[in-house]
């Protein structure tokens, strides 16, 4: 019902925008950056061939490997250890104001001549929080009791996620600020889209690999079945 309601709201509002919003014909349209799709990809290829862009793309494609497991798997492991999914979803509510305020605060530090300094400074703290998340997963079954989890456990989870959001947004805003700063104004839209797309890929592919590696790297035991390791799907089924 929730998804249906907001899906309907989304469809209605976007349809109203399509029919009611008109372009301002009085303004002189700016000159297009490119003439078509072929020109756009030719331009993108010429940008990618630049040595500095290649180095930067390599950086942002690999910079988030160290956080991938903590980002992608922590929530799933907490659910596996018995934390109710609805409780984890509710814990995301206090993060919303934080996510709104953080970019406003961080932008003051990324507006200078070296926005990536904030990115580099936040990285070790985010790596340390990955270790803290691993400890949190290990600690979860130890504090569980018949009535669920104590209040102080949820307080620790909220604090952990809040600290994680600070480091995450510090790196995110810094990358966005750097992309905006180095993009050629004449082809700004194409330039920024390329860099932001590579940045998004740099966050998505390590998470995908981390999720794929969860099963083969998980140590399993079979209760009451001597000689079975449950290491494979077939053994677990038996």
Q: What is the CA radius of gyration of the chain?
A: 23
Look-up: residue for tokens 């910079």?
63
Phi, psi of 220 (to 5 degrees): -125, 150
Q: What is the Cα–Cα distance from 155 to 37, expressed in whole angstroms? A: 51
CB 207 within 8 A of CB 72: yes
If DSSP codes are grouped into helix, strand and coil, which group holds residue 227?
coil
Contact present, 66 and 127 (Cβ < 8 Å):
yes
Residue 101 lies inside a defined structural domain of this protein: yes
What pLDDT score was predicted for residue 193?
Answer: 86
pLDDT of residue 204: 93
In a domain? residue 194:
no
Give the model's pLDDT for residue 171.
Answer: 92
User: Over the chain (238 residues), what is each successive 10-residue block's mean pLDDT?
Assistant: 96 95 68 68 85 91 92 92 89 88 88 88 94 94 86 92 93 90 78 89 93 86 72 73
**Residue 221 resides in a domain:** no
Asked if the structure places residue 100 within a domain, the reply is yes
Instruction: Tally the domains of the chain.
Output: 1
Residue 154 falls within a domain, yes or no?
Answer: yes
> Are 130 and 70 in contact, with CB atoms under 8 Å apart?
yes
Domain that holds residue 129: 67-188
pTM to 2 decimals?
A: 0.77
Question: Residue 33: what pLDDT?
Answer: 55
116 vs 178: CA distance, rounded Å = 6
The answer to the question of residue 75 being in a domain is: yes
pLDDT for res 40: 79
Helices (H), ranges, 21-67: 37-48, 51-62
Q: Is residue 14 part of a domain?
A: no
Residue 118 in any domain: the answer is yes
């Amino acid at each position: 019902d929730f998804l249906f309601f907001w899906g309907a709201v989304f469809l209605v509002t976007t349809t109203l925008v399509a029919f009611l919003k008109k372009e301002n014909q009085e303004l002189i349209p700016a000159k297009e950056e490119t003439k078509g799709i072929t020109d756009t990809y030719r331009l993108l290829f010429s940008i990618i061939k630049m040595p500095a862009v290649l180095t930067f793309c390599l950086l942002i494609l690999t910079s988030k490997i160290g956080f991938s497991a903590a980002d992608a798997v922590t929530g799933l492991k907490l659910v596996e250890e018995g934390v109710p999914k609805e409780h984890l979803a509710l814990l995301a509510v206090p993060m919303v104001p934080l996510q709104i305020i953080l970019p406003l605060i961080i932008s003051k530090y990324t507006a200078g001549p070296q926005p990536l300094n904030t990115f580099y400074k936040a990285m070790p703290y985010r790596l340390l929080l990955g270790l803290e998340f691993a400890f949190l997963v290990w600690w979860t079954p130890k504090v569980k009791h018949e009535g669920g989890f104590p209040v102080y456990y949820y307080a620790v989870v909220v604090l952990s996620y809040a600290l994680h959001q600070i480091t995450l947004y510090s790196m995110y805003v810094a990358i966005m600020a750097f992309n905006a700063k180095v993009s050629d104004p004449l082809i700004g839209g194409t330039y920024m889209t390329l860099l932001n797309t590579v940045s998004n890929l740099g966050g998505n592919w390590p998470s995908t690999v981390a999720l794929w590696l969860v099963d083969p790297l998980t140590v399993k035991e079979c209760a009451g079945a001597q000689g079975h390791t449950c290491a494979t799907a077939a053994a677990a089924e038996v």
